[in-house]
Amino acid sequence: MKFKKNDTVIITAGKDKGKQGSVLDIFPQDEKVLVSNLNQYKRHIKKEKSAITGRTGIVTFSRPIPVSNIALICPKCKKRTRVGFSITKNEKVRICKKCNLPI
């Protein structure tokens, strides 16, 4: 995966296109990423199901976004960029394709 937790990303497709958020969780098997306060949906939960979830009524929650629909924002140059890799001193480092600095 080219993304890690707490990376700042921008949504490139879908209903939240152009919005930014940080990565909360990564699902490598599904190739999806959970981004904070983006891709939110509402669900109605009945009183009988509240024993399981502890909440009733209309609940707002975030769904994971496919990795192909997000782009990383470089913390150094603050631009939307692709992620590259560089091997230095026997370790693999992620680099920004725009400024060539480690992320």
**Domains of the chain: total:** 1
Q: Does a structural domain hold residue 64? A: yes
Q: Which residues are CB-neighbours of 59 under 8 A, at least 6 positions away?
A: 42, 43, 44, 45, 53
Q: Which of 77, 102, 99, 76 is nearest to 89 (CA)?
A: 102
Q: Does a structural domain hold residue 89? A: yes
Q: Does a structural domain hold residue 3? A: no
Q: Does a structural domain hold residue 16? A: yes
Average pLDDT over residues 20-27: 96
Domain with 82 in it = 8-96
**Phi, psi angles (nearest 5°) of residue 67:** -60, -30
Mean pLDDT of the chain: 91
Q: Does a structural domain hold residue 43? A: yes
CATH number at residue 32: 2.30.30.30
Q: Does a structural domain hold residue 73? A: yes
Asked if residues 31 and 50 have their Cβ atoms less than 8 Å apart, the reply is no
The model carries a pTM of 0.82
Q: Does a structural domain hold residue 101? A: no
pLDDT single digits (tens) 54-73: 778 888 889 999 999 999 99
